[in-house]
Amino acid sequence: MRKEDRIRFSLLKDEPKYLENILSCEKFLERIFENNDNRIYVAVSGGKDSMVMLDLSLKVWTRYPETFFRIWHWDYGENLVPRTFAKEIINNINLLIWRYSFPSEQFIVDKRFRQRSAREDSVFGYHVFYFTIKKIILKYSFTHALIGLRKNESSKRMLFLKEKTIHSRKISNEKKILDCYPLANFSAQEIWTYIVTNNIPYPSTYDLLAKFRPYEEIRFVTFFDKEFTNINQTDDFFFWREKQ
């Protein structure tokens, strides 16, 4: 990251709203981790929001190490996430795991082994993704999922998170899970402030695209992601959307 961007984000670290969001998030997580009956996982894509979600979760976990807690990452496969970036994502997650002395065996990576064409993967990949989530929830009897969605990321997410930041989701007739969104009120600028001031690793392609667009406007997505319409392609790898 350029020096001027680091300075720009660092200047926000003492802003009342930023500090309020950090404190609120930590209290949110404390309430979940302090109950030893809870079984928690944090979903980590490797993008900026999920890496902040991971770091905050690990910080609180260190105070409640007896609580059942797992890190889960979904590898969409090489058609949607080229191996260079997949390796970087895994390495970034491991850097935080090592920082907090989190047991590496409690980091779960699910991979898609059956490959289709890239465009087919963008459709079928989501079906497999949600099937796999259901499978791990049932396998580990998770009660809470920590997810790094934010309100101002899209109008759809704004509506979804408008009323509440915990949603109960039915997995089967006998099983429900609470999807939790502790970062819901964070702005993209505040996410980058946290990354800069806490030295959080993130995919290097953010820096590449930031030569053309501000960091706050860059989103981390897979190839042929149907959620995005105005897209740019880097030479090798991801499609990104310029957030309007």
Over the stretch 76-104, which tens digit does the pLDDT of each residue have? Answer: 777 677 788 889 999 999 999 999 999 99
- Whole-number pLDDT of residue 238: 40
Residues 181-199 have a mean pLDDT of 94
Per-residue pLDDT band for 171 (boundaries 50, 70, 90) equals confident
Residues 54-74 have a mean pLDDT of 96
- Whole-number pLDDT of residue 213: 82
- Whole-number pLDDT of residue 125: 53
Q: Letter for the amino acid at 143?
A: T
- Whole-number pLDDT of residue 126: 60
d(CA 28, CA 180): 9
Helix (H) or strand (E) holding 241: strand 239-241
Over the stretch 192-203, which tens digit does the pLDDT of each residue have? Answer: 999 999 999 999
Domains of the chain are 12-200 (3.40.50.620)
Higher pLDDT, 209 or 237: 209
Over the stretch 68-78, which tens digit does the pLDDT of each residue have? Answer: 999 999 887 77
Nearest Cα neighbor of 44 from 223, 233, 190, 203 is 203
Beta carbons within 10 angstroms of residue 4's beta carbon:
8
Residues 140-164 have a mean pLDDT of 84
Helix (H) or strand (E) holding 240: strand 239-241
Q: Inform me whether the pLDDT recorded for 222 exceeds 60.
A: no
- Whole-number pLDDT of residue 229: 40
- Whole-number pLDDT of residue 236: 34
